[in-house]
């Protein structure tokens, strides 16, 4: 394939997310103009280069709203999955496995970032395990990596207490340190199911958020009413601290197994508090996407685990993630397929508080061209990526990273 310009001035004949065909002009790493295709405006005035997309779909770069960059085995030889045990036993097993890996966390995480960027992801919210055994090692590695890959992706980091908070000695202090040393958000883990002390864990987590002005992203796998009660507790705490729009709950499986009245009540609480919900489209019960959106709850998408001690699956492709969620939720019409795409793009960007996002004049030119005629086709079949741009620079072509020039 002929190599394209590293900094194209025009992406010509693109199909925009709303279906229009346009020439997208890029200037200083941002979208300078969006002009109707075929009007002759596709020729850069300043001698800059033009890439003809030939009717390919141009989307804003994907947002991976939930990754565990520090956990992945990518970059290391294949490791068979070791099954079994309770969640707590699996956490212990994971620590043991990761201690035995020859490839350092930074190298594995970088391999995953590269794979994500090649497929069009431009923004990542990653969790970093913070626990008594590994301390802040994972956080430090990811903070350093964030600088090294800033030409490919933007990254925010959640200090994630994978070994619990109230039941793990010193984790409260470690989370506090993490927020001073580069973490953007504080995480939590099944306050009731893991720590057995919902109030205690959430006191710590929200206390840290308030003290540091940080966002919150809590892993919540607890089912049924036990989960719903914690969701409403999280919503109440979010309102009390004025953290609307800065708090997310990841997974929230319970939203998939509540009765209608409890779902209504819980969704209203989340919507009223501006608490968003992250899903990866799991095999079991999951948040009902359309129902939550109708209730005003923001739902967004993320990869979750990718080839790590928790499971061997995962590609890091956020368009395939939209497909997976669409299949799980029975999203079929064009309007519904647009919703599925939004979970990996605009909704995730809003949940992360990304500014300058989108295919619009003034936004940063973080873009991905997909071999599809429009958004519905892209979600239905997650076809190949022709081109990925970050801040106006071509970072990947035909699904492969191109070296910086």
Q: Which residues make up the interface to its own copies (CB under 8 A)? A: 77-78, 80-83, 283, 307, 311-315, 323-324, 326-328, 330, 332-334, 337, 373-374, 376-377, 380-382, 384, 399
CA-CA-CA-CA torsion for 157, 162, 165, 170, nearest 10 degrees? -80
Residues 269 and 247: their CA atoms lie apart, in Å, by 13
Q: Provide CB contacts within 8 A for 360, sequence distance 6+.
A: 31, 34
Give 5 or 315: the residue with its C-beta nearer to its own copies.
315
Q: How far is the CB of 355 from its own copies (least distance, A)?
A: 32
Give 276 or 344: the residue with its C-beta nearer to its own copies.
344
Give 42 or 326: the residue with its C-beta nearer to its own copies.
326
Residues 314 and 324: their CA atoms lie apart, in Å, by 11
Q: How far is the CB of 27 from its own copies (least distance, A)?
A: 32
C-alpha closest to that of 170 among 204, 138, 142, 221: 204
Residues 127 and 95: their CA atoms lie apart, in Å, by 15
Give 183 or 331: the residue with its C-beta nearer to its own copies.
331
Give 47 or 330: the residue with its C-beta nearer to its own copies.
330
Give 231 or 369: the residue with its C-beta nearer to its own copies.
369
Q: How far is the CB of 380 from its own copies (least distance, A)?
A: 4
Secondary structure string (H, E, C) spanning 58-112: EEECEEEEEECCCCCCCCCCCCCCCCCCCHHHHHHHHHHHHHCCCCCHHHHHHHH
Give 245 or 381: the residue with its C-beta nearer to its own copies.
381
Residues 218 and 64: their CA atoms lie apart, in Å, by 16
Q: How far is the CB of 127 from its own copies (least distance, A)?
A: 21
Q: How far is the CB of 31 from its own copies (least distance, A)?
A: 26
Give 179 or 324: the residue with its C-beta nearer to its own copies.
324
Residue in the block written with tokens 């359309």: 290
Q: How far is the CB of 38 from its own copies (least distance, A)?
A: 19
8 Å CB contact between 395 and 152: yes
Residues 117 and 248: their CA atoms lie apart, in Å, by 24
Q: How far is the CB of 329 from its own copies (least distance, A)?
A: 8
8 Å CB contact between 273 and 249: no
Q: How far is the CB of 278 from its own copies (least distance, A)?
A: 18
Q: Which two tokens stand for residue 83?
A: 């099954």
């Amino acid at each position: 394939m002929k190599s394209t310009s590293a900094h194209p001035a025009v992406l010509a004949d693109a199909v925009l997310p709303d279906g229009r065909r346009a020439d997208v002009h890029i200037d200083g790493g941002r979208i300078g103009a969006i002009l109707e295709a075929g009007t002759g405006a596709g020729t850069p005035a300043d001698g800059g280069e033009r890439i003809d997309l030939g009717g390919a779909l141009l989307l804003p770069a994907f947002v991976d709203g939930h990754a565990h960059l520090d956990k992945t085995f990518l970059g290391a030889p294949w490791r068979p999955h070791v099954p079994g045990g309770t969640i707590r036993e699996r956490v212990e097993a994971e620590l043991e496995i990761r201690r035995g890996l020859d490839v350092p966390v930074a190298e594995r995480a970088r391999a995953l970032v590269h794979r994500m960027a090649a497929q069009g992801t431009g923004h990542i919210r990653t969790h970093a395990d913070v626990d008594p055994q590994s301390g802040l090692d994972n956080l430090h590695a990811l903070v350093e990596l964030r600088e090294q890959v800033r030409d490919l992706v933007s990254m925010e980091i959640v200090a994630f207490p994978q070994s619990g908070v109230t039941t793990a000695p010193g984790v409260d202090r470690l989370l506090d340190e993490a927020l001073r040393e580069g973490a953007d958000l504080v995480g939590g883990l099944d306050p009731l199911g893991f720590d057995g002390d919902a109030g205690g864990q959430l006191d710590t987590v929200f206390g840290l958020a308030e003290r540091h002005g940080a966002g919150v992203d809590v892993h919540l796998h607890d089912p049924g009413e036990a989960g719903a009660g914690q969701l409403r507790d999280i919503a109440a705490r979010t309102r009390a601290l004025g953290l609307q729009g800065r708090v997310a709950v990841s997974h929230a499986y319970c939203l998939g197994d509540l009765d209608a009245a409890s779902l209504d009540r819980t969704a209203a609480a989340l919507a009223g508090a501006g608490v968003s919900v992250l899903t990866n489209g799991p095999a079991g019960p999951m948040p009902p996407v359309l129902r939550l959106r109708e209730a005003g709850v923001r739902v967004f998408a993320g990869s979750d685990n990718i080839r790590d001690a928790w499971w061997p699956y995962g590609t890091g492709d956020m368009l395939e993630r939209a497909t997976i969620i669409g299949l799980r939720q029975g999203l079929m019409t064009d309007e519904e397929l647009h919703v599925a795409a939004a979970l990996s793009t605009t909704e995730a960007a809003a949940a992360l508080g990304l500014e300058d996002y989108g295919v619009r004049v003034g936004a940063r030119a973080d873009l991905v061209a997909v071999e599809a005629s429009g958004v519905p086709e892209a979600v239905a079949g997650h076809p190949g990526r022709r081109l990925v741009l970050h801040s106006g620079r071509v970072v990947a072509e035909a699904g492969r990273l191109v070296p910086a020039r």
